[in-house]
Amino acid sequence: MERTLVAATTDHVGQEVSVSGWIDARRDMGKIIFLDVRDRSGILQVVVVPQVVGEQGMAIVKDLRPGFVVQVDGLVKARGEKAVNPKLVTGRIEMEAKAVTVLATAQPLPFDATSDLGLDTYLDHLPYTLRTARARAIFKIQGEIIEAFRAFLRGQGFTEFQAPKIVAGSTEGGANVFTIDYFGKPAFLAQSPQFYKQIMVGVFERVFTVGNVYRAELHATTRHLNEYTSMDLEMGFIRDHQDVMRVENDFLAYLVDHVARTCAAELELLRATLPAVPKDIPAVKLREAQEILGKEFGIACIGEPDLEPEHERKLCEWSAKTHGSDFLFVTHFPTSKRPFYTMPDPADPNFTLGFDLLFRGIEITTGGQRIHDHAMLRNNIAKWGLNPDHFAYYLEAFQYGMPPEGGLAIGLERLTAKFLGIENVKEATLFPRDIARIDERLSVS
C-alpha cells in the first residue's frame, strides 16, 4: 500500500491506509496498546488490539520503544467525542492497526530530549536532540527565513549568485581569519562575500547570496559563532545608504508576513511573538544615539566610536518605548571605524553613510553605501594601511564603471534567535562551531 502522511489520514476515515514514522510513545492499557506514530506531518494515535493484529502482531508491538521506525497498516476511525484531542492535527481520528512492521530499531533513548538539558548536553547529542518538536520548529522557521529573503529579493529584480569561500587574502585586511593549506600555499576562509557581491553589481546591478562566512574569533559568548550563515545583498544605482535601508525595511515586513503564513504552528509551539515592522523603521545617527543613551539611561558615551552590547540593548528599549518598534537603524558611524570601502558622508567625511540595524537588543545587520569611484577607493585602501596592488582583482570592477552602490548583510542565526526569543545563538545554529567544538568537543591540547 502507498504511504499516507499522518496529517492526511483525516481524509480517509473508514478506509485502510498505511502510515510510516517514528514511535513517539507507547502506552500499554492492559490488553490494548496505544502507539503515537510521528512523521514529518504530525502525530497519529494508533490502537493495537490483540483480536485484530494477532499474537505475532502483539509480540512485535510489545517490543516497540520510542525511536523505533515502523510502518502501520490499518483502519482510520473517528474518535468518540470524549476522546477528541484538539492539540493534534489528527485529534478527531485514530487508526486501528491491522499490521505493524518494524523498519528500524532504536537503542533505548539516552535521556528525555524535551527536558531542560543544558546547552552542552544538547549540543553533544544534536543528531538525537534535533528531533524534538522545539528544534524542528526552530529550523523549519530558519529555512523559511532564507526562503523569504530570496523570494522578496527576486521580486525586486535581484539575481542570486554563489560566492567562493576560499580566498587569497582577508577581505578587510583584518585579523580573525582561518588559514587553509591550499596546495602548500596559505589561503583563507572568507569573512564575507563583500568583494564578490560588489563585483557582481557590475554584472547584474542587484545581487544576493546566502552562504557560510567565517570569523576566527576566540569569543565564547551567546552571540558569536565561528561559522555562520550570512544573507547578503548588494545593489547599484542608489542615491545613498537610505535606499539600502528601505530594501531591508520592506524585506522585514515581507519576512514577518511570510513566517506568520507558513509557520503558524511552529510559532505557537515556541510561543514566539513576531515583531511589528513599522512602515519606516526609526533611524538615528550614532551621535544622536549616544545622546539618547546619556539622557534616557545615564550612560555617558558621547564620542565613542561604536556601540557596546549594553548600548544596543538600551537603544532597543528606547526604540520600543518611544516608537513601538523592535527595530532601530543607527547610521553615521565614524569613518575610521568602518572598512575602507564605506562611503564617507559628503556633509561630514569623518562619518560614513553606513548603518547597523538593531533588533531586540542586538545588531543583526551592517550595511551602507560603498565607495564606487576607483581612484577614491584605491586611495582609501592605502589610507587604511593596506597595499592597493593586493586588491587589483577587486579594483578592476571599479576601473571599468561602477554605479553608486550599497548593500548589507544579515546574520541568519542571530536573526532567527531574536525572532524566536532564543537566548543563545547556538540554539539557532544547526551545527554550531565554536572554539571548543566541531560537532564533538575538541580535545584540549
Query: Does residue number 140 form part of the binding site for a second copy (CB under 8 A)?
Result: yes
- Which residue, among 72, 405, 23, has the nearest Cα to 240 in the 3D structure? 405
Compute the least distance from the CB of residue 307 to a second copy, in Å.
28
Compute the least distance from the CB of residue 159 to a second copy, in Å.
6
With contacts defined by CB under 8 A, name the span among 9-17, 33-41, 268-276, 361-369 that binds a second copy: 33-41
Checking DSSP bridges between strand 166-167 and strand 179-182, what pairing results, if any? unpaired
Q: Considering only residues 82, 87, 185, 271, which one is a binding residue for a second copy as defined by CB under 8 A?
A: 185
Query: Does residue number 166 form part of the binding site for a second copy (CB under 8 A)?
Result: yes
- Which residue, among 67, 55, 147, has the nearest Cα to 103 in the 3D structure? 67
Compute the least distance from the CB of residue 438 to a second copy, in Å.
4
Query: Does residue number 420 form part of the binding site for a second copy (CB under 8 A)?
Result: no
Q: Considering only residues 372, 378, 414, 426, which one is a binding residue for a second copy as defined by CB under 8 A?
A: 372
Query: Does residue number 214 form part of the binding site for a second copy (CB under 8 A)?
Result: yes
In the shown chain, the binding pattern of residues 51 to 90 toward a second copy, with x for contact by CB under 8 A and - for none, equals ----------------xxx---------------------
Checking DSSP bridges between strand 348-352 and strand 179-182, what pairing results, if any? unpaired
Q: Considering only residues 374, 379, 384, 386, which one is a binding residue for a second copy as defined by CB under 8 A?
A: 374
Neighbour count for residue 433 (Cβ, 10 Å)? 17
d(CA 334, CA 23): 58
Compute CA distances 162 → 108, 165, 233, 272, 339, whole Å: 43, 9, 12, 32, 23
Q: Long-range contacts for 236-239 (Cβ within 8 Å, ≥24 apart)?
A: 236/201, 236/202, 236/205, 236/206, 236/402, 236/403, 236/404, 236/405, 237/205, 237/403, 237/404, 237/405, 238/369, 238/404, 238/405, 238/406, 239/404
Compute the least distance from the CB of residue 189 to a second copy, in Å.
7
On whether the CB atoms of residues 32 and 78 are closer than 8 A, the answer is no
Q: Whose Cβ is closer to a second copy: residue 63's or residue 288's?
A: 63
On whether the CB atoms of residues 163 and 394 are closer than 8 A, the answer is no
Query: Does residue number 8 form part of the binding site for a second copy (CB under 8 A)?
Result: no
Q: Whose Cβ is closer to a second copy: residue 73's or residue 296's?
A: 73
With contacts defined by CB under 8 A, name the span among 98-106, 291-299, 304-312, 377-385 that binds a second copy: 98-106
Q: Whose Cβ is closer to a second copy: residue 244's or residue 307's?
A: 244
Q: Considering only residues 27, 31, 62, 154, which one is a binding residue for a second copy as defined by CB under 8 A?
A: 154
Query: Does residue number 101 form part of the binding site for a second copy (CB under 8 A)?
Result: no
Cβ-count burial 218-248 (b if 16+ within 10 Å, e if not): eeeeebbbbbbbbbbbbbbebeebbebbebb
On whether the CB atoms of residues 341 and 380 are closer than 8 A, the answer is yes
Q: Considering only residues 28, 112, 120, 160, which one is a binding residue for a second copy as defined by CB under 8 A?
A: 160
Q: Could you tell me the three cell numbers for 278?
A: 513599522
Q: Whose Cβ is closer to a second copy: residue 38's or residue 360's?
A: 38
Query: Does residue number 341 form part of the binding site for a second copy (CB under 8 A)?
Result: no
Residue 1's contacts (CB-CB under 8 Å, 6 or more residues apart) are: 16, 17, 18, 73
Report DSSP state, residue 135: H
Query: Does residue number 224 form part of the binding site for a second copy (CB under 8 A)?
Result: no
Angle, helix 309-323 to helix 286-297, in steps of 10 degrees: 80
Q: Whose Cβ is closer to a second copy: residue 357's or residue 428's?
A: 428
Instruction: Kindly identify the residues of this chain, within the stretch 395-414, that bind a second copy according to CB under 8 A.
Output: 396-397, 399-404, 412
Q: Considering only residues 200, 283, 410, 417, which one is a binding residue for a second copy as defined by CB under 8 A?
A: 200
Compute the least distance from the CB of residue 277 to a second copy, in Å.
23
Query: Does residue number 442 form part of the binding site for a second copy (CB under 8 A)?
Result: yes
Compute CA distances 194 → 56, 201, 231, 233, 244, whole Å: 63, 11, 11, 9, 15
Q: Whose Cβ is closer to a second copy: residue 315's or residue 377's?
A: 377
With contacts defined by CB under 8 A, name the span among 79-87, 210-218, 329-337, 346-354 that binds a second copy: 210-218
- Which residue, among 214, 213, 227, has the nearest Cα to 177 in the 3D structure? 214
With contacts defined by CB under 8 A, name the span among 42-50, 73-81, 163-171, 340-348 that binds a second copy: 163-171
Number of residues located near a second copy, criterion CB under 8 A: 95
On whether the CB atoms of residues 355 and 240 are closer than 8 A, the answer is no
Compute the least distance from the CB of residue 327 to a second copy, in Å.
24
